[in-house]
Amino acid sequence: MLRPRDKNYDQHVRTVVPKLTRILARAFQADSLEGACIGASTALTHMPSRLSVWSFGLAGSTILEVPANRLRKDLFAVDFPDSDQSEVGHVWVVAPPFQIVDATIALQNWGNSPIRPFIPDSLVVETEASVITPTVDDLISPLVQKRKLLESEGVQDSNLHNELIPNLSGFNENFPALSLTIGALHLRYCPTSPAMPNEPLEEIMSSSHYRRSAIEIWQQEVVPAFDL
């Protein structure tokens, strides 16, 4: 985030990243990658570097609300997973000057939820977001809060998120939570940790439950689009 940038680099990023994000969002949708934000976003941290763009991943909570319709959906950083294979929370990418790059926001198992029509296919946010201080309700699911409430014999703890997520306040000093509005949809992205892949692009999404690996999407979709 502090890496020196000049106007030419920023313009390069503004040209490359929105286009890449749209390409990947369409590819992930075509491959039915519902709920696959971790694999998809780790692919998205590798691909920009091949296009001379520096980026990194963040993991945490993402909260979506349409206040006028009393709608809310949550991807909590601290929650009980639905199954042994499922992950909690959400993962997105930062590619300065862009604060949020999210190619999978529309693919989070929304099903027939009435909030689905308000959610964009992808997000690329530069200056539209405001810094916020996340609360326990942004980071800890009601089920986990209820379990902790029973364990503490009914004593509610508004500081529970700082207890369950080590060094949260220190982390958020450098990687702040952000709030933005898109039409009627309000979103809060609340990071709790970095999310960077250990494996190269050639090994990401290579298991059999993906229709295409990350490198196949790169070769089939990105390379032709950027005339590489």
Could you state, in order of their start, the residue ranges of all structural domains in the chain? Answer: 7-225
Question: Tens of pLDDT along the chain (228 residues)?
Answer: 889 999 999 999 999 999 999 999 999 899 887 766 666 777 778 899 999 999 999 999 999 999 999 999 999 998 887 644 456 889 999 999 999 999 999 988 888 899 999 999 999 999 889 999 999 999 999 888 888 777 765 556 678 888 888 889 899 999 999 999 999 999 999 999 998 888 899 998 888 778 898 999 999 999 999 998
Q: What is the pTM of this model?
A: 0.90
Question: Cβ of 53: how many Cβ atoms within 10 Å?
Answer: 19
List CB contacts of 54: < 8 A, sequence separation 6 or more.
3, 48, 95, 96
β-pairing, 98-102 with 177-182?
unpaired
Question: In degrees, to the nearest 5, what angle opens at C-alpha 221 toward C-alphas 128 and 19?
Answer: 20
Concatenated DSSP letters of 169-186: HHHHHHS-EEEEEETTEE
